[in-house]
Each structure stands twice: as C-alpha cells, then as structure tokens.
Amino acid sequence: MKCPYCSHSETQVMETRISEDGDFIRRRRQCGSCEKRFTTYERPEVNFPVVVKKDGRRIDYDPAKLRGSFALALRKRPVSTEQVGSAIDRIEEKLLNLGLREVPSARIGELVMRELKKIDKVAYVRFASVYRSFEDIDEFKTLVDEVRR
C-alpha cells in the first residue's frame, strides 16, 4: 500500500478491525518513510448487472440513483434512514442473486415499488404514479384502492 502523504511503497499495518456488520475491514497503517498514519478500508468487489433502459441503452448500475428514487418518494415521510438502507440492501441482494449480466430498469422499478409498499404506503403511491406514468385519474384511483385493501 502506497503512503498517501509521501508515496513511499512500504507501509506497516498497525491495527486491523472488522466492522460491526462484517461488511468491511478497517486497517490503520504507518508509513515506513515519513511515519505518518492513515486508514484503509477493505471491501469485497461486487459486480451488479448492467441496467437496460426502456429505450435499449445500457448503463452501469448506480446505487446513488436508487437512493435518490427512495429519497424523492419518501420526502417528508416518517421513515428512518435505517429502513431505507435495509430496503436498498434487499433490492441489491435480489439483483445479485438473479445472476444476470443485464436487468431491465422496469425490474428494478418493480423491486422499488415492492419495498416502498412495505415501508410507506404514501411513498409507494407517489413512486408508482410517476413510474407507471398514469394517463388519467382512474388509473390513480385504482392504485389508491389497491393500497387501501
């Protein structure tokens, strides 16, 4: 590991800790040359499937877009960041378990709606109304009636 201060290539691991949830390893290192200390994090590299948009374009999976969709739907709703994080984790786990190289964006949208329906009905209706791009009020009414049941 190269020192971020002096670029010396020899560093020594002083301390290693595994995160509480076991998702990463934190290492405190010390440079053999300038003796400054710094922290590194070791995480597993995960390859998500490529997202196929409605128009056929292919883009890399972007967790920030997923988080943004949740934030928009849940704006001013009483839902904790832990609930949102757990929902996103479940979606990402499902995407990885599909074992596909490509996944349609519509599939991701359906997974988001399923998670939103579990954690907040209003956010679910908000997201679904935009995602399904309703043409008239009857489609919206049908969705609200479905949520009420």
Residues 6+ apart with CB under 8 A from 26: 16, 17, 18, 19, 39, 40, 41, 42
User: Is 106 part of a structural domain of the chain?
Assistant: yes
Q: Examine the pLDDT at 6 and tell me if it is beyond 80.
A: yes
- Shared-domain flag, residues 61 and 113: yes
pLDDT digits (tens, 9 = 90+) for 13-35: 999 999 888 888 999 999 999 99
Q: Containing domain of residue 86, as a range?
A: 50-148
Write down the pLDDT at residue 22.
84
Question: Within its chain, how far is the Cα of 46 from the centroid?
Answer: 12
Please state the pTM of the whole predicted model: 0.65
Tell me how far apart the alpha carbons of residues 99 and 114 are, in angstroms, rounded to a whole number.
Answer: 20
Judge whether 30 and 12 are in contact, CB under 8 Å.
Answer: yes
Tell me how far apart the alpha carbons of residues 118 and 113 are, in angstroms, rounded to a whole number.
Answer: 9
Task: Count structural domains, the chain.
Answer: 2
Strand partners, 28: 15, 39
Tell me how far apart the alpha carbons of residues 110 and 43 are, in angstroms, rounded to a whole number.
Answer: 28
pLDDT digits (tens, 9 = 90+) for 73-116: 999 999 999 999 999 999 999 999 988 999 999 999 999 999 99
User: Is 2 part of a structural domain of the chain?
Assistant: no
